[in-house]
């Protein structure tokens, strides 16, 4: 009798160990994607003097939500089935200023050699009937572990501040009413989504106009020496000399 219980405990322990390892790969994948986006953010800041990435948030789906989603969608409750079918266990959300930034960031991520694009859902060009807009990418990235490489799915949502503002509120309301939002409120939300779209278009337009002016005056700018890296004009001249 004792051995049956012991065996059962052993197999539960093994299962827990596999599950913890399973979740860890998603945590590492999130860290990798976060690092990639932070590098883009800093590089943008330096090269363009303008940073399209406003903020980045990431989340790991809880084990409970993973199991609930697998049940709801009728997937097998094995780790390999969950890995293949539930592709939003690791989620990253990037908020940017303008609609054009969404595609700029998306292109930059897709151009990275170790990122494989699996799926694109463009709710910016094709908003959902309720007015929801965002660009969703499912990507796959390799996570190098001590004894194996795991290709891990990550869901990346890219949206403007206005889109984010709208979807956070809609999400809260949706939960408050358990998905059954009263008709008038629903209509108001769709109207608000339209206002957010108009705001995005207006901001993009202003941004374009300002950009044109900036391009003209760039010629008058001098080289920004010093800064946090302490690169003086003298150091630069020495590098130049070494090259020749
Ligand atoms: P899930 O099975 O829920 O992940 O949806 P899906 O597989 O149909 O994917 P989809 O790309 O449509 O949505 C994925 C995620 O986008 C959701 O988990 C939300 O974070 C977000 N999302 C999609 N639609 C809406 C919406 O109408 N309102 C809000 N606030 N968020 C949404
Ligand atoms: Mg989801």
Per-residue model confidence as pLDDT tens digits over 138-191: 999 999 999 899 999 999 999 999 999 999 999 999 999 988 999 999 999 999
Q: Answer with the residue of higher pLDDT: 6 or 55.
A: 55
The two tokens of residue 106 are: 């998306």
- The number of the ligand 1 atom at minimal distance from the alpha carbon of 170 is 30
pLDDT of residue 43: 87
Query: Which residue spans within the chain are E strands per DSSP?
Result: 53-60, 90-96, 116-122, 135-144, 149-160
Going by CA atoms, what residue is nearest to atom 13 of ligand 1? 136
For the segment 110-127, the average pLDDT, to the nearest whole number, is: 98
Give the per-residue pLDDT at 94: 98
**What pLDDT, on the 0 to 100 scale, is given for residue 219?**
55
Reference 156, options 92, 61, 83; nearest CA is: 92
pLDDT tier, 222 (very low <50, low <70, confident <90, very high otherwise) = low
pLDDT at residue 3 in the model: 82
- The average pLDDT across 41-63 equals 89
Could you give the percent of the chain with pLDDT greater than 90? Answer: 75
**Residue 33: C-alpha distances to residues 7, 44, 116, 192 (Å):** 39, 16, 12, 32
Q: Copy the structure tokens of residue 102.
A: 């969404």
Q: Taking CA 18 as the corner, what is the angle to CA 16 and CA 22, rounded to the nearest 5 degrees? A: 115
Find the residues whose C-beta lies inside 6 A of ligand 1: 88, 121, 128, 130, 132, 136, 167, 170-171
Q: Which residue has the higher pLDDT, 235 or 203?
A: 203
Return the structure tokens found at 178. 């358990």
Q: Is the pLDDT of residue 244 over 80?
A: no
Residue 214 has pLDDT above 80, yes or no: no
Q: What is the mean pLDDT of the chain?
A: 91
| Span between the terminal Cα atoms of the chain, in Å | 82
Residue 80 has pLDDT above 90, yes or no: yes
Q: Is the pLDDT of residue 240 over 80?
A: no
User: Does 66 or 49 have the greater pLDDT score?
Assistant: 66
Mean pLDDT, rounded, for 7-30 = 94
Reply yes or no on whether 180 is catalytic: no
pLDDT of residue 224: 59
Predicted local distance difference test score (pLDDT) of residue 237: 87
pLDDT score at 63:
95
Which position among 8, 54, 84, 155 bears the catalytic label? Answer: 155
Alpha-carbon Rg for the chain, nearest whole angstrom, is 24
61 CA from centroid of ligand 2 (Å): 9
């Amino acid at each position: 009798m004792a051995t049956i219980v012991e065996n059962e405990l052993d197999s539960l322990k093994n299962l827990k160990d596999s599950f913890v390892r399973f979740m860890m790969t998603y945590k590492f994948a999130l860290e990798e994607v976060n690092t990639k986006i932070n590098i883009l953010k800093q590089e943008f800041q330096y090269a363009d003097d303008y940073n399209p990435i406003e903020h980045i948030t990431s989340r790991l789906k809880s084990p409970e939500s993973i199991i609930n989603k697998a049940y709801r969608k009728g997937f097998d409750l094995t780790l390999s089935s969950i890995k293949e079918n539930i592709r939003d266990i690791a989620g990253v959300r990037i908020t940017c200023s303008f609609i054009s930034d969404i595609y700029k960031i998306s292109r930059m991520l897709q151009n990275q050699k170790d990122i494989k694009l699996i799926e694109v859902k463009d709710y910016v060009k094709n908003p959902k009937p309720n007015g929801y807009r965002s660009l969703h990418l499912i990507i796959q990235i390799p996570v190098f572990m001590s004894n194996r490489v795991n290709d891990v799915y990550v869901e990346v949502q890219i949206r403007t501040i206005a889109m984010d503002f709208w979807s956070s509120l809609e999400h809260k309301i949706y939960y408050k009413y358990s998905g059954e939002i009263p008709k008038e409120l629903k209509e108001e939300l769709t109207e608000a989504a339209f206002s957010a779209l108009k705001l995005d278009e207006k901001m993009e337009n202003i941004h374009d106009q300002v950009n044109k002016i900036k391009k003209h005056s760039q010629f008058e700018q001098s080289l920004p020496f010093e800064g946090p890296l302490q690169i003086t004009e003298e150091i630069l001249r020495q590098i130049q000399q070494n090259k020749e």
